[in-house]
Amino acid sequence: MSGTATYRDAVRAGIRDALIRDPRCFLMGEDVGRYGGCYAVSKGLLDEFGPERIRDTPLSESGFVGAGIGAALGGMRPIVEVMTVNFSLLCLDQILNNAATIRHMSGGQFSIPVVIRMASGAGRQLAAQHSHSLEVWYAHIPGIRVLAPATLEDAQGMLWTAIVDPDPVVIFENVMLYNMTGSLPAEVRPVDIDKAAIRRAGTDLSIVTYGGSLWKCMAAAAALAEAGIDAEVIDLRTLRPLDDETIMASVRRTRRALLVDEGWRSGSLAAEIMARIVEQCFWSLDAPLARVCSEEVPIPYPKHLEDAALPQVSAIVEAARRIMGAR
């Protein structure tokens, strides 16, 4: 695929490329076949690859994620789609107690090359059952990689890099990104899943974020530039392991940092990164660290309340201004 595409198209192109490259690879999950996926990501793949490689599963996350782990143990390369991060709690036992631990507990004799994709985040008025950002729960677990692609290129290319990784990889796709448009290269190129990316260079302030919040931070940085504040925006891309090197190098340059995280404030990924900055860069800071997170409530259904619960551009700008005023 080349030319203008959506984030949804990019994910589909990554899956299709993996299915073509490796006959051991297959997609499984709820409604991924005939329905084409809850977010239309797998639309058309059943007709192209058939039911052996595009497998509709029963409505049992524990069952089909466990089956995917077993298939990976048996030498296959499954891509397991979990409809939404909230439902992934039904298979957390399989991910935490099996996928993440078997390599360690077997003394390296077995690996689990499974990729688990799931939608996360809010903004579509899907209420508390379908709208949370629980990435930090998975980033807490040793033995897995956790990715959060925020661009079309990453959504397409990270998948192949994840599939060839011998360890389990969990990929979070923010629901607000699926309709985002952009350009894609004609060929799928593997994307480095070890490094964060500086999406906007700046000298006054480091804004660190990931996933759907990236584009709010980019908009906030543009607004800050009009006020004479030059913000650098870092896209984490990989939430486990975190790329401390890129984060700390940026903070040492700008001497200030703002963390933006759609997760809840308490125990957030933002809190973890703030702790690391204090441990590694405390004497480089010219102002207290700050963070913008979701309000500590189940995500509401009404649009105005949902918006109020989530990090927004105005809140990011306000927090950045406070940091700059703390000199």
Active centre residues (catalytic): 61, 130
Q: What is the 3-state secondary structure (H, E, C) of 257-311?
A: EEEEEEEECCCCHHHHHHHHHHHHHHHHCCCCCEEEEECCCCCCCCHHHHHHHCC
As given in the structure block, the two tokens for residue 63 are 């069952």
In order of 197, 240, 262, the CA distances from 244 in angstroms are 12, 11, 20
Determine whether 317 is exposed, middle or buried from the number of CB atoms within 10 Å of its CB (0-12, 13-18, 19+). Answer: buried
Residue given tokens 């985040």 in the structure block: 121
C-beta of residue 261 within 8 angstroms of C-beta of residue 274: no
E-strand ranges in 25-114 read 25-29, 54-56, 77-82
